[in-house]
Amino acid sequence: MLYQPHLITRRIVPENQEFPMLSLSSRITPEHLFYVRNHFPYPVVDLSSWKLGIGGLVDQPANYSYEDLLRMPQYSLAVTLQCAGEKRAYFHPLTPGEQWELGANSHAVWTGVRLADLLRAAGIRRNALEVTFEGMDRGGRTDMPGEFTFMRSLPIPVACHPDLLIALYMNGQPLPFRHGYPARLIVPGWYGMASVKWLQRITVIDEPFQGPFQTNDYVYLREGGDQPASEPVTRIRLNAMIAQPTDQEVIARGNHWITGAAIAGDHPVALVEISIDHGDTWHAASWIDPHETYAWRRWCYLWGADQKGTFSMMARAVDLLGNTQPVRPDWNKKGYGYNAIQKIQVHVE
Ligand SMILES: Nc1nc2c(c(=O)[nH]1)N[C@H]1C(S)=C(S)[C@@H](COP(=O)(O)O)O[C@H]1N2
Ligand SMILES: [Mo]
């Protein structure tokens, strides 16, 4: 375990640390600031014996060594990872789990092998329904006896999409250990739990996977209301994060940049709007970054704060279809997918 003073520690073992959103000075998150989300202590990885297995309902099961994967065609994609627990600390009432604020998300360029290439080489059988991905990290749970590895599944059509990568590199460097060395899955547009780290086995199955990280966790559990009582957590919801100023910050009169990032897993973000007057009027922010399908996009707005007082500041993203963020969060028992419009207070002196 290494003390990482530059990250915000939410838990020491397993190591869970968030990116300080104030440090959003580059689109790509510097490696030492990239958030870390682990369910278990770190696994022991021995590269000489490590293999990535592909099996189950396939015609040609295979075991790839690290070198085998390095020799295959490599593809790069810029993908923002966001934890499904992002902003969980803002739910009322609070929900159990790491109390993430703004920084359970970070951005990198990932390079590796296309999952679709490996699946095509293996030959998926006709009766296949899902593909499971198993990490090397393991441990117990508080809600059931036994030892588990971190394991997740994807429906076949999602798994076969050409943008899914078995990443071997992060920002052009070998994947750092904390982010899944030697190889991790990257599922663009989905919340982070889908992007299994320290990947060791891919298995094609013909029934819905029932592991605890699929059916106990990463499910929206609700009571009452008109939403379904139980729904799997999948794609990243439309969301805007205010990086600067911070909540309750005291600033001097004059011009100030309001900055942040916006993200969406379904449709591209078209617009970010800022309100300084508790939502009465909205102003379009400017883009810092160009649009990239799976990347967060930083925005800024110049605010002429010429009056003293306390201001209620909000930021909301609007996607290409005109959808925007809800005023009230979709409260659910395990605190996933918070995307209500963020509101902060700023004091001008
Ligand atoms: N093997 C393994 N993969 C995992 C996890 C884990 O605990 N073990 N956590 C998942 C979750 S919930 C998230 S949000 C992302 C975080 O990736 P990072 O730690 O590289 O930021 O990894 C995912 N992949
Ligand atoms: Mo997560």
Give the domain-ending residue among 217, 247, 268: 217
Q: Has residue 97 been placed in a domain?
A: yes
Q: Mark which of 165, 183, 217 sits at the end of a domain.
A: 217
CA–centroid distance, 189 to ligand 1, in Å, is: 15
Query: Could you give the CA distance from residue 202 to residue 185 in angstroms, rounded to a whole number?
Result: 10
Work out the mean pLDDT of the chain and round it to a whole number.
Answer: 97
- Residue 222: how many CB atoms within 10 A of its CB? 16
**Cα 33 to ligand 2 centroid, rounded to whole Å:** 16
For residue 326, how far is its CA from the centre of ligand 1 (angstroms)? 27
Domain that holds residue 152: 8-217
Rounded-to-integer distance, Cα 87 and Cα 99, Å: 8
Same domain, 243 and 110: no
Same domain, 202 and 313: no
Model pLDDT, residue 246: 97
Residue 215 alpha carbon to ligand 2 centre in Å: 15
* DSSP states of 218-230: SEEE--SSSS-SE
C-alpha span between 289 and 304 (Å, rounded): 23
Same domain as 258, residue 205: no
Nearest protein Cα to ligand 1, atom 10: 193
**Of ligand 1's atoms, which has the minimum distance to the CA of residue 191?**
14
**CB of 88 closer than 6 angstroms to any ligand 1 atom:** no
The CATH number linked to 93 is 3.90.420.10
Q: Tell whether 148 and 295 lie within a shared domain.
A: no
Closest residue CA from atom 23 of ligand 1: 193
Residues 213 and 105 in one domain: yes
Q: Do 85 and 188 fall within a single domain? A: yes
Residues 167 and 31 in one domain: yes
| Mean pLDDT score, 84-94 | 98
**From the alpha carbon of 185, which atom of ligand 1 is closest?**
24
The whole-number pLDDT of residue 2 equals 66
Q: What share of the chain is helix, strand, coil (3-state, %, to 5)?
A: 10, 40, 50
Determine if ligand 1 sits within 6 Å of the CB of residue 82: no
**Protein residue whose Cα sits closest to atom 5 of ligand 1:** 38
103 Cβ below 6 A of ligand 1: no
In a domain, 230, yes or no: no
**Total residues found in the chain within this entry:** 349
Which residue's C-alpha comes closest to atom 20 of ligand 1?
179
pLDDT tens for each residue of 33-73: 999 999 999 999 999 999 999 999 999 999 999 999 999 99
The enclosing domain of 243 has a CATH number of 2.60.40.650
Centre of ligand 2 to C-alpha 127, Å, is 30
In a domain, 308, yes or no: yes
Give every CB contact of residue 74 below 8 A, 6+ residues apart in sequence: 111, 112, 113, 168, 169
Ligand 1 contact, 298 CB (< 6 A) = no
Cβ of residue 193 lying under 6 Å from some atom of ligand 1: yes
**Above 90 in pLDDT, residue 3?**
no
Report DSSP state, residue 216. Answer: T
The domain total for the chain is: 2
Q: For residue 229, is it within any domain? A: no
Instruction: Quickly list DSSP for 46-84.
Output: -TTT--EEEEESBSS-EEE-HHHHHHS--EEEEEEEE-T
By the CB criterion, residues less than 5 angstroms from ion ligand 2 are: 37, 83, 192-193
Domain for residue 2, yes or no?
A: no
> Would you say the CB of residue 114 lies under 6 angstroms from ligand 1?
no
Q: What is the distance between the alpha carbons of residues 346 and 244, in angstroms, rounded to a whole number?
A: 10
My answer on whether 129 and 40 are in the same domain is yes
In a domain, 50, yes or no: yes
**60 is a domain residue:** yes
Same domain, 191 and 292: no
pLDDT tens readout for residues 114-171? 999 999 999 999 999 999 999 999 999 999 999 999 999 999 999 999 999 999 999 9
Considering the domain architecture, whether residues 80 and 113 belong to the same structural domain is answered as yes
Q: Is residue 288 located within the same domain as residue 334?
A: yes
81 ligand 1 Cβ < 6 A: yes
Instruction: For ligand 1, pick from 8, 32, 35, 38 the residue to mutate: most ligand atoms within 8 Å of CB.
Output: 38
- 206 and 296, same domain (yes or no): no
Confidence of residue 227 (pLDDT cuts 50, 70, 90): confident
Residue 136: inside a domain, yes or no?
Answer: yes
Could you report the per-residue pLDDT of 169-222, keeping only the tens digit for each? 999 999 999 999 999 999 999 999 999 999 999 999 999 999 999 999 999 999
